Structure 1
Amino acid sequence: MPQRSVQPLRRTTALVLTALLATTPTALATPARPDHGRTCLGDVRVLAHFDRAAGQAAESIAPEPGGGAVVGMIPARQVVRVERTGAVRVLATMPLPPDGGGTTPVVGTPVVTGVVRSGGGAVHFLYSSGRGGLTGVWRLRRSGAPELVVPLPADTMPNALVVDDERDRFLVTDSTGGRVWQAPLRGGAASVWSADPALAPVDFFGANGLKVHDGAVWASNSDRGTIVRIPVAEDGGPGRAEVRASGLEGVDDFDFTGRGTEILAAVNQSSRLVRVSADGTGETLLDAGDGMRGTTAVVVRGNRAYVTNGANLVGGDSNLLLAELRRC
């Protein structure tokens, strides 16, 4: 999630969670250069539009078999399912805490953030409320009722959620604490996996997006505009983080294209989808001219990229977009 706004409104709405937008976009530190065989996008289309007036600012994405997806919504506090037809159905709406969520770190309102779908089909998601007993990893039961399976401290801002199948654990970024937490997939107590300084915020959000790839945990840092790689040791613990890309101020979520360490990054602050090559250079593939509005997340499945636009603080259309990955 991008750097904070200086306006109180941006501090107190859940819109800022997925990325507060600054007024001036920041260019990549290193200009793009030709890269034979790089990934391009084609057949870009909107799969679903959301009710932004009702708080449906699209955040994270969990693709499902058949072409649909589960999407987290802020500040509606919802998890929704998007069918391949574009139909949208609310699966769960999280309850407000007794104090209304005013103690939620930084944003001052409770929010649903990361969503993930396990190999068995179970849907898990993150809820940050500023209250113990509500903040943490939740599972959506078959009955439709959500169940807290991994409690997290009230002062955390859980943001991205991934399943590390190799080690049977969840990994969760804590944006305000600048940490990555771990917890068993079966549920239970969480512990800090890494608090490397590269994950720390400057004054708003640090660690944000999260992926496990090629023997390492990768995380974006919104305040610092970086993507870092943390190698995983044989015992499952963290090595020292190294910065693999920079100049991405306000970077939110990201994913790998399937071509080595090439990345697609959602840059919320400037409403862009950026291709980051293995050497860290970047190229904008989609921007505001293509309808990007507060780009919050990107997930790659096969030759498809799913992209969410939260339209947070910039107005416009909150949506789920699909694009075909092509070699160019």
Structure 2
Amino acid sequence: MSASDELPTIFAETPVALAPFYPIAELPVNTFLESIVVRSDGTLFVSSHLDGKILRIGSDGVPVVHAAIAGKATGLTLTPLGNLLLTAWNSENLSTVFTITPQGDVAVLVTLPDAVFLNGLTPLAEGSYLIADSYRGTIWELNEPKKSVRIWLEHPALARSSEDKEFPAVNGLKVYGNVLYASNTEKMQLVKIPIQPDGQPGEPEIFVQPINLDDFAFDREGNLYGTTHIYNSVVKIAPDGSVTIVAQAEQGMTGSTALAFGRTKNDLTSIYVVTNGGMSFPPPTGLEPARIVRLDIGIAGQPLL
């Protein structure tokens, strides 16, 4: 039995409409690329989880080290001032949010002694960001100007089915309209959480299941594009919940962990995908290099700006 056969066959009947793909960069086997953001000038920033590095990729497609921490790097987002926010563990395995300047200078923004596994993060309001805690089953709210953190939502829909499960629960986070979407990877669910007028969460509800999602992004029409990680693919989820596979292992998606839309006039209809080469669930053919791949999803996939 192959490795892929050991997984639940949740995509066995899913329609396939493959997008054109263009390899951008390749990194050595056992490189765990974890998160990606795209600056307005087209520069890519990618977190390398295990060695705590933030890679910068410009128009030449060559990854260079932009910054590094003594710890493990997870989620990334950009602030309006052009800084990066990074969720991570520091050298003492303490959950930490770092800020990284455009020049690559790193500073601790805040530490979270009560957090367990900080993961994806996304803007909520001016100066405010939501952070997934994949093992605690919590979403934290970070106030960047005040350097303060509080629990925004702790709920069974965000938690693992049991504490002995290794796969992360709440993982990717994105806001579309007045709703926060959260992937619960371990439960194979995509959860919708209404955002109330005062910025507080409403009652979570399951939007799509079973669906194995890691990170994801929305286009302006409300279509979600998501990485499936151990399923080695990228899927499109329409507003009605229907799912289509748009890229597979043959397009370089082995161990797809995160994606982000392009932001220049030349790549607004493209998404950039990062992978770990199958480190979390090795394919039968063995681990592959980590990759950064551009998918052209066409005019209908213009990003939400």
TM-score range, shorter chain: 0.7 to 0.9
| Selected match of 2:87 from 126, 145, 153 | 126
Distance 1:257 1:146, change over 3 A: same
What is the DSSP-based 3-state SS (H/G/I as helix, E as strand, rest coil) of the residue aligned with 2:250?
Answer: helix
| Selected match of 2:272 from 284, 306, 309 | 306
Task: Give the letter aligned to residue 255 of structure 2.
Answer: G
Corresponding position of 2:76 = 115
- Number of matched pairs: 283
Distance 1:293 1:32 in 2: 18
Corresponding position of 1:91 = 66
Task: Give the letter aligned to residue 80 of structure 1.
Answer: L
Corresponding position of 1:159 = 119
| Selected match of 1:198 from 157, 163, 171 | 157
Identify which of structures 1 and 2 has the higher relative contact order when contacts are C-alpha pairs closer than 8 Å and 6+ apart.
1
Corresponding position of 1:317 = 289
Distance 2:11 2:18 in 1: 23
CA RMSD, Structure 1 to Structure 2 (Å): 2.4
Question: 1:208 deviation in Å?
Answer: 0.3
Q: TM-score, normalised by structure 1?
A: 0.79
Question: 1:51 deviation in Å?
Answer: 2.9
Distance 2:134 2:261 in 1: 23
The equivalences for 1:4-15 within 5 A come to none
Unpaired stretches in structure 1, ≥5 consecutive residues: 1-20, 35-39, 96-109
| Selected match of 1:291 from 252, 264, 277 | 252
2:207 is the alignment partner of 1:244: yes
Percentage identity across paired residues of the two chains: 23
Do the aligned partners of 2:86 and 2:98 also contact (CA within 8 Å) in 1?
Answer: yes
Unpaired stretches in structure 2, ≥5 consecutive residues: 263-267, 301-305
What is the DSSP-based 3-state SS (H/G/I as helix, E as strand, rest coil) of the residue aligned with 1:147?
Answer: strand
List per-residue Cα deviations over 1:104-138 (Å, max 9, x = no partner).
xxxxxx52000111222111111124847x52210
Do the aligned partners of 2:48 and 2:55 also contact (CA within 8 Å) in 1?
Answer: yes
- Greater Cα offset, 148-157 or 119-128: 148-157
- Greater Cα offset, 43-52 or 111-120: 43-52
Do the aligned partners of 1:26 and 1:247 also contact (CA within 8 Å) in 2?
Answer: no
Task: Give the letter aligned to residue 274 of structure 2.
Answer: T
Do the aligned partners of 1:41 and 1:324 also contact (CA within 8 Å) in 2?
Answer: no
The equivalences for 1:43-54 within 5 A come to 43-53=20-30
Q: TM-score, normalised by structure 2?
A: 0.85
2:125 is the alignment partner of 1:146: no
Corresponding position of 1:255 = 217
Corresponding position of 2:178 = 215
Task: Give the letter aligned to residue 178 of structure 2.
Answer: G
Distance 2:91 2:107 in 1: 17
Distance 1:23 1:178 in 2: 29
Do the aligned partners of 1:179 and 1:194 also contact (CA within 8 Å) in 2?
Answer: yes
- Greater Cα offset, 273-282 or 69-78: 273-282
